[in-house]
Amino acid sequence: MILEVGCTLGYQVMTPTAHFTFNVLVNTDAAQRLLAEELVFAPEVTPEKIATSKGNRVVRVEAPAGPFELRYRATVEVARAPLPAEVRPDSPGRLPLSILTYLLPSRYCESDRFSPLAWELFGRIENRAEQVREICRWVDANLEYKSGATDGRTSAWDVWQHRQGVCRDYSHLAIAFCRALSIPARYVGAFAATLEPMDFHACFEAYLGGQWHLFDPTDGIAPEDIVVIARGRDAANAALTTIFGRVQTSPVAVICRRVAPAAGVAQG
């Protein structure tokens, strides 16, 4: 699948300068191939680009007082490995050390509080792939999608109690359930085609059968229609923007749509 993605972020800098960290560029991994990319700042500034171990591509800039805007566009070929029909449980003691951190509780995913609940709801399922699918189905069926229901500091436990939230909250709860069942899981910030209304999106990945697989517990968007931007243990580790200074923000504009491949270009 070939997708065109992008965003426009606008600000009014109220202090002499403001420092921005942007994490909105397409992640670079084996499932996503960049075909074209453009990043423009107005007024023009000199960005510092940093690539992290998770493939996140962070851009840091210093902007002067006044209007400031980021415009980003990219064309991406997405080819994700299909989820196996059946995955047997992994032994946590045999997982790679880099994966073990995604079994631990984190700021927004208090998986240690969910262990009895997770085993009661999903423990009867032996197939790990089906277990994660069932978690997604349960979260989608039992939470009310309510924009503005949370204030950005809501954790999985809060979501469990209030049974409402947005895509970020759905993903945090699903991650907490997975970790409580000893399934490594991590948060994903993304672009997503077919999302209505269009915006940045949150979903998650679970480590199954020796590799990461993408799941969307909110809208059920297919993995090939999702372009990963940032990964982390939860949203605190995958913020799309971090700002130091006094600024006013403008409405965010996001695009993500399927495009036809160019003539002579084969899709793998």
Residue 223 neighbours by CB under 8 Å, 6+ apart: 78, 80, 213, 214, 215, 216
| Residue 264 pLDDT grade (very low, low, confident, very high; cuts 50, 70, 90) | very low
For residue range 98-120, list pLDDT tens digits in order. 899 999 999 999 999 999 999 99
Q: Is omega for the bond preceding 67 within 30 degrees of 0, making it cis?
A: no
Q: Which is nearest to 248 in space by CA: 63, 48, 73, 72? A: 63
Model pLDDT, residue 262? 55
The whole model's pTM is what?
0.91
For residue range 125-149, list pLDDT tens digits in order. 999 999 999 999 999 999 998 776 5
**Cα–Cα distance measured from residue 27 to residue 205, given in angstroms and rounded to the nearest whole number:** 14
Model pLDDT, residue 85? 84
**Which H helix or E strand runs over 119?**
helix 115-122
DSSP 29: B
Query: Max Cα separation, the chain?
Result: 59
Domains along the chain?
2-78+241-258 (2.60.40.2250), 92-237 (3.10.620.30)
Residue 93: both structure tokens together: 């003691």
**Cα–Cα distance measured from residue 89 to residue 96, given in angstroms and rounded to the nearest whole number:** 15
Model pLDDT, residue 149? 53
* 3-state secondary structure at position 34: strand
Do 235 and 190 touch, CB atoms closer than 8 A?
no
**Cα–Cα distance measured from residue 141 to residue 217, given in angstroms and rounded to the nearest whole number:** 10
Model pLDDT, residue 94? 84
**Cα–Cα distance measured from residue 246 to residue 239, given in angstroms and rounded to the nearest whole number:** 18
Model pLDDT, residue 219? 76
Instruction: Inform me whether the pLDDT recorded for 267 exceeds 70.
Output: no
Least confident piece of the model among 98-112, 189-203, 252-266 = 252-266
For residue range 39-81, list pLDDT tens digits in order. 999 999 999 988 776 778 999 999 999 999 999 999 999 999 8
